[in-house]
Amino acid sequence: MVCIYYNIGLLGGLHNSNAPLRGASLADFPCMKNAYLITQQDYILEYGSMLELPFEKYPSAHRIDVAGGALFPSWCDSHTHLVFAGSREHEFVDKIKGLSYAEIAAKGGGILNSAAKLQQTDEQELYELASERLSELVQAGTGAIEIKSGYGLTLEAELKMLRVIKRLKENSPVLIRATFLGAHAFPNQYRDNPDSYIQLILSEMIPAVAKAGLAEYIDVFCEKGFFSPEQTVLICEAGKKVGLRPRLHANQLSVSGGVQVGVSLHAISVDHLEAMDEESIRVLGCSATIGTLLPNASYFLRMQDAPARKLIDAGAIIALASDFNPGSAPSGNMNGVIAQACIRMRMLPEEAFNAATINGACALELESKCGSLQAGKFANFFITKPIPSLAYYPYAFGSNLINKVVLRGKEIQ
Ligand SMILES: [Zn+2]
């Protein structure tokens, strides 16, 4: 079926190229005012000015009056931990009261708390919880998403998480990428013998994940007190051998060397980057590795934000993602992420839109399918209430401006 969306007040994200945007080009978010867009089945067919609206070319097309609203490509959220067993709001309250990370961990909080809950939760229940979260994100405009394992931390529980992600992939209109994150934290029983957990990852988990075809990527939390740069290399090299491309948690809490390791491994992305020195900024700026910024995490943890402006000035490719997880970023709403990127990290609205659409798609290696409005790509977009300008969207940060969501050409109710 052909659908004509007309009376579009602002049509945005009209890139001609799928190349990731860096430096000054990140501020170029091509838009057209007073436009139409035509879809056929799952795909975008064409778009143009309302002055050339081709109703007569498609006499039997379904016509949708957008009534002056804006139409933007769906968000591409390239870093989430969407599959988890339970929320952790009691830790949130402990943090408000001033408890330290170590005190919270001593009370049974943190990643190991999520792992214990997940190990005890059955696969069907995990799927239902995750599916509900994903539906909520779809209504908030997300059309492509990366989901990590990493709350299993045993062979069986990691595979369980990845099977849940596979089911989401099969049953959701959202484009989904799966990442194996067995190296998220050291389980308690390996505290005194971390090398044997690394061995478990190398000799059992990675081969099993690869054999079952359950992931596209491998991730490591490269951080002081977690996984060292050397351990990160070992794990990622083993992943690469079986076709899992690295993407890393890097430089969240300290200048960990994670950026340099990621670049040397040709990681698709290094994510977080709150703790950056000049050398790490320079290395990333000269590389093809994407720097994925996660302002939800620094906001929720009351930490310093990633130096977005310095990274953009250094020529780095910047993407924005939600980091949706129960401990440090309990929101997957990308509308909030782009608002925070503008408010707290001084990214321009155009830069934030690009970082959360086309550059996010590049970080998912889905840039030929989504991330911009281009003929032949999936008809993945959302329609807003009429807005006076692009900048109004992150500016009105508390308003839900989305009227309609379309994925693969179909309106999502
Ligand atoms: Zn994360």
CB crowding 229-260: b at 16 or more within 10 Å, else e: bebbbbbbebbeeeebbbbbbbbbbeebbbbb
Instruction: Please provide the average confidence, as pLDDT, over all residues in the chain.
Output: 96
Structure tokens at 250: 């890097």
Q: Where are the domains of the chain?
A: 2-73+372-412, 76-363
CA of 79 to the centre of ligand 1 (A): 6
CA of 412 to the centre of ligand 1 (A): 28
Centre a 10 Å sphere on the Cβ of residue 401 and count the other Cβ atoms it contains. 17
Pairing label, strands 290-293, 269-272:
parallel
- Extract the runs of DSSP E, i.e. beta strands, from 212-343: 217-222, 245-250, 269-272, 290-293, 317-320
CA of 78 to the centre of ligand 1 (A): 10
CA of 251 to the centre of ligand 1 (A): 12
CA of 294 to the centre of ligand 1 (A): 8
Question: Under a CB-based contact definition with an 8 Å cutoff, are residues 147 and 80 in contact?
Answer: yes
Q: What distance in Å separates the CA atoms of residue 98 and residue 152, rounded to the nearest whole number?
A: 29
CA of 130 to the centre of ligand 1 (A): 16
CA of 316 to the centre of ligand 1 (A): 20
CA of 307 to the centre of ligand 1 (A): 18
CATH no. for 2-73+372-412: 2.30.40.10
Residue ranges of the chain whose pLDDT lies below 70 = none
Q: Could you read off the pLDDT of 175-233 as tens digits, one per residue?
A: 999 999 999 999 989 989 999 999 999 999 999 999 999 999 999 999 988 999 999 99
CATH class name, domain 76-363: alpha beta
As a whole number of Å, the end-to-end CA separation of the chain is: 18
pLDDT of residue 29: 98
CA of 82 to the centre of ligand 1 (A): 10
Q: Could you read off the pLDDT of 139-172 as tens digits, one per residue?
A: 999 999 999 999 999 999 999 999 999 999 999 9
Structure tokens at 221: 């939390």
pLDDT of residue 378: 98
CA of 249 to the centre of ligand 1 (A): 6
HSE-CB at 94 with a 13 A cutoff on CA atoms is 17
CA of 279 to the centre of ligand 1 (A): 23
CA of 183 to the centre of ligand 1 (A): 12
Pairing label, strands 410-412, 402-407:
antiparallel
CA of 42 to the centre of ligand 1 (A): 31
